Amino acid sequence: MPAHSVIRSVNWHLISTCNYSCRFCFARNLGEQPVSFSEGLTILSHLADAGMEKINFAGGEPLLHPRLFDYCRAARDLGMTVSITTNGSLLSQKLIGEHAACIDWIALSVDSASESTEKRLGRGYGQHVQHCIGLSDAVREAGIRLKINTTVTRLTWEEDMADFIQRTSPDRWKVLQMLHIQGENDGAMADLAVTDKQFQTFCARHADVILRGGVQPVFESSAMIEGSYFMITPGGCVKTDTGRVIRKYPLADVLHSGVMEYVDPVLYLGRGGVYAW
């Protein structure tokens, strides 16, 4: 039997398809079709049995998956905390309200407070920031907790996002250094990659930002990200990024051996993988 795992959360990339073209994305070339819904329910059951307390549905863009909210309800029924990470383009106040009962967290990906910069990054077509500001109000009104995910690139490391964060008022702000994954975002490295020093400069500029409930932002360098996430592919495999190369393993093998054989527990805990969710 595998040792008791400290890994309590999982990211399921439900679908590779996305309606945006973020140049730094490292989850675009997984080369898989989504599992059937019945297979997906089995996967959820196995994850719950393995002790996963929180699941984050990601992509691609998860709202392009036709059964996303059915998965959310199923995960909730299994006792999991349910999160969605989305670019927000397909979300509306109406949709949020309709499904608020099965969602605990919505994470909006916003990498700059500048519409033109977001467009240059491939994050939308020029209205992304304003749309996400509106969504942030709708998420809070629906009683869902809000998270903002920001990937720092060469276009943004000198930016001050404090006013944007104050306006959206998230419960959690995760700031990530752009991570190079071979075969995923090679073409963006030359003009978007940031040095460790540049990333640290961005972090230092925002170190005094205080979020709702007195919470501080979470800053994750590329070294902290690599190997510290439990990730499921659209086809139901486990993917790892150790060595910044994607490798895939059957979920059954991973759960049999123990998740900590594939996800570094020290890095997972060190980046705040377990928090008050």
Into how many domains does the chain fold? 1
β 247-250/237-240 pair status: antiparallel
> Does residue 81 form part of some domain?
yes
> Does residue 275 form part of some domain?
no
Give yes or no for residue 27 having a pLDDT over 80: no
pLDDT at res. 194: 96
> Does residue 123 form part of some domain?
yes
pLDDT at res. 4: 73
Whether the model clears a pTM of 0.85, i.e. scores above it, the answer is yes
Percent above pLDDT 70 for the chain? 98
Q: 181-199 as b/e, with b when 16 or more CB fall inside 10 Å?
A: beebbeebeeebbbeeebb
Domain carrying residue 65: 7-269
Give yes or no for residue 1 having a pLDDT over 60: no
Residue with tokens 């980046």: 271
In angstroms, the Cα distances linking 230 to 40, 138, 157, 237 are 17, 29, 27, 11
> Does residue 277 form part of some domain?
no
**pLDDT 10s digits, 219-274:** 999 999 999 999 999 999 999 999 999 999 999 999 999 999 999 999 999 999 99
**pLDDT 10s digits, 129-158:** 999 999 999 999 999 999 999 999 999 999
> Does residue 13 form part of some domain?
yes
Q: What is the mean pLDDT of the chain?
A: 95
Percent above pLDDT 90 for the chain? 90
> Does residue 1 form part of some domain?
no
Give yes or no for residue 218 having a pLDDT over 90: yes
The size of the chain, in residues, is 277
Query: Quick count: other Cβ atoms within 10 Å of Cβ 67?
Result: 15
CATH number, domain at 260?
3.20.20.70
pLDDT at res. 59: 92
Rounded Cα distance between 244 and 85, Å, is 22
The more confident residue out of 58 and 30 is 58
Rounded Cα distance between 271 and 219, Å, is 8
Rounded Cα distance between 133 and 168, Å, is 6
CA 179 to the chain's CA centroid:
13
pLDDT at res. 144: 98
Give residue 2's pLDDT band: very low, low, confident or very high (50, 70, 90). low
> Does residue 276 form part of some domain?
no
**pLDDT 10s digits, 179-203:** 988 888 888 888 999 999 999 999 9
Render 72-94 in DSSP notation, one character per residue. HHHHHHTT-EEEEEE-STT--HH
pLDDT at res. 106: 98
β 231-232/9-13 pair status: parallel
CB 10 within 8 A of CB 52: yes
Rounded Cα distance between 170 and 145, Å, is 7
> Does residue 2 form part of some domain?
no
